[in-house]
Amino acid sequence: MNRTRRRLVAAAGAAAVGSAGWALWRDRTGSDLQAVKSALAPDPMFPNALRVPGNEALHGIADVGGSFTLVSGPVEHEILRGKPVTMLGYALEYNGKRFINPLLRVETGTNLRVRYWNALDETSIVHWHGLRVDTNNDGHPHYAVAAGETYDYQFTVSNRGGTYWYHPHPHHLAGKQAYLGLAGFFIVEDDDQTALDRALDLKLGVTDIPLLIQDKRFDANGALSYAPGAQEHFHGYCGDTLLVNLTPSPCFDCATRLYRFRLVNGSNARIYRLAFMHGEQPLEFHVIGSDGGLLVRPAAAHELFLSPSERADVVVDLRSASVGDRIVLSSLPFDAMQFSTDAQSPHTEAQSVPPNGAPLEIMLVRVTSQAPYDRSLPDTLSRIDDPIIENASRRLFTLDHLKGMWRINRGSYRMTDTAFSVRRGAREIWEFHNPNPAMPHPVHVHGFQYRVLERNGSPPHVRRLAMEERGIAAPELGWKDSVLLWPGETLKMLIDFTHPFAGDQIYMLQCHNLEHETHGMMVNFRVAA
């Protein structure tokens, strides 16, 4: 499989993204911030229409296959009303349409050849988060390319249908680049997903709504501001403005029927305790999918935790709602149990920023019409085999900190070091321990999905969401690639290292608090052939 890094010359650059080559992309295709247009009076708290994936522009749906070029660079876009600014984005021209941070939609089994062109002024690379690919296609920081260079990906999408995403992964720069705008959805379709669409009459961007939840800070001109100080490097960089699909204070108007919401936490560090609040009461919803696709059957819930990089697909039933009903997607308060001393307080550098665990109102879901609808959620969604733990070897990991640095097994990341090796085809139980005092850490494994086996020592607000005696919550009943480890917890997961790729493979284990990742809370591991 051929992989190249190359310096773009003018002719090559022009060929890569059309005859004009790269220039500052300006979003002039209809996705500028719009006021909610409805028969109901505008809601003063949520005045902006949610940007939903459409035919092009921001998060536009691109049904891709074969070859295409994805470019990272500056784009002009209006995040805050009346303040078009330059941010970072992924640009794509495909089938005559122009996209920014496109929603890439593929079917399982699709072959892709993606030329990534780095039009930033610094090193970068794309990580296909959650996809089962070999080392050369994973977006490891070792393969990051300099400004003006390209990197060629070629892989077959073998994942189950589900909600995945893509973002930058250069060492020391991933947090900054993701915060400034580089992130997009990657939706995989398969027979189970198609069957669910038919059963519930779902259409992506209409009644099947991907929601990229992020918190940001802005300067006086409306531009994104990323300037973490020492304490924010330690705790993670949180924002004071909540965005959904880069929409502040968004409102989504809907009818009296079932809706699927694909929840993606694209924040650098903020954890959300998500609930759909009808007044003071949380609505029951059903979790139907996790990081790695559909669950076996729907799981009823009233709330769920979502840490950076985690996904959860949920179905909300509005059939009994009345026109005018307001449901607010909220993050309920919780104790984040952050490590804090007088010398390292999470509040000293940004007094106005709500801390992790503060109550937040994210998005308004407003019922604006009655709809004839007689569909019901199927009892069975997919098939997932039970995890086989017999003869699985065990491997232990401890997450801790020393002198302001977070570590994995007392080590900090070095790009050329490999922390341990796993035999191809082996099954291992990985046991993670997060001793107090500590912070919650979202644990992400590259290249492989896993099954969560059990949680022990969980804080009360986590224990009460457990679906069974093993202590795991509804989104953890399926396949995962990221999972939140709380202070004082021990968590076990089972990983099967069977794969079809030739030779040794190098992957990463990391914390997906991007400031922790930036400062070395990750390791390389080898899957030996």
Q: What CA–CA distance (Å, rounded) separates 129 from 447?
A: 9
The answer to the question of residue 204 being in a domain is yes
User: Which residue from 355, 338, 276, 274 is spatially nearest to 311, judged by alpha carbons?
Assistant: 274
Q: What is the band of 6 on the pLDDT scale with cuts at 50, 70, 90?
A: very low
Alpha-helix runs per DSSP H in 356-469: 460-463
357 and 402 fall within a common domain: no
The answer to the question of residue 378 being in a domain is no
Q: Which of 29-38, 82-91, 397-406 has the lowest mean pLDDT?
A: 29-38
Q: What is the band of 352 on the pLDDT scale with cuts at 50, 70, 90?
A: confident
CATH of residue 283's domain is: 2.60.40.420
172 and 202 fall within a common domain: no
pLDDT digits (tens, 9 = 90+) for 199-241: 999 999 999 999 999 999 999 999 999 999 999 999 999 999 9
The answer to the question of residue 387 being in a domain is no
The answer to the question of residue 384 being in a domain is no
Q: Give the helix/strand (H/E) hosting 199.
A: helix 191-200
pLDDT value of residue 15: 35
**Cβ-Cβ contacts under 8 Å for 344 (sequence gap 6 or more):** 231, 234, 235, 404
pLDDT digits (tens, 9 = 90+) for 453-507: 999 999 999 999 999 899 999 999 999 999 999 999 999 999 999 999 999 999 9
User: Within its chain, how far is the Cα of 213 from the centroid?
Assistant: 8
**Cβ-Cβ contacts under 8 Å for 385 (sequence gap 6 or more):** none
Q: What CA–CA distance (Å, rounded) separates 295 from 160?
A: 11
Q: What is the band of 99 on the pLDDT scale with cuts at 50, 70, 90?
A: very high
18 and 78 fall within a common domain: yes
Q: What is the band of 12 on the pLDDT scale with cuts at 50, 70, 90?
A: very low
Q: Residue with structure tokens 């880069």?
A: 246
201 and 78 fall within a common domain: no
Of 315, 335, 369, the domain-final residue? 369
Contact 490, 457 (CB under 8 A): yes
Contact 271, 357 (CB under 8 A): yes
pLDDT digits (tens, 9 = 90+) for 112-132: 999 999 999 999 999 999 999
Of 189, 216, 242, the domain-final residue? 189
354 and 422 fall within a common domain: no
Number of domains in the chain: 3
Give the total residue count for the chain.
529
CA dihedral 241, 245, 248, 249 (to 10 degrees): -110
466 and 338 fall within a common domain: no
20 and 167 fall within a common domain: yes
User: Within its chain, how far is the Cα of 196 from the centroid?
Assistant: 22
261 and 183 fall within a common domain: no
| pTM of the predicted structure, to 2 decimals | 0.94
Task: Give the residue-averaged pLDDT of 189-199.
Answer: 98
Task: Give the residue-averaged pLDDT of 360-368.
Answer: 98
Note down the domain range covering 75: 5-189
The answer to the question of residue 248 being in a domain is yes
214 and 313 fall within a common domain: yes
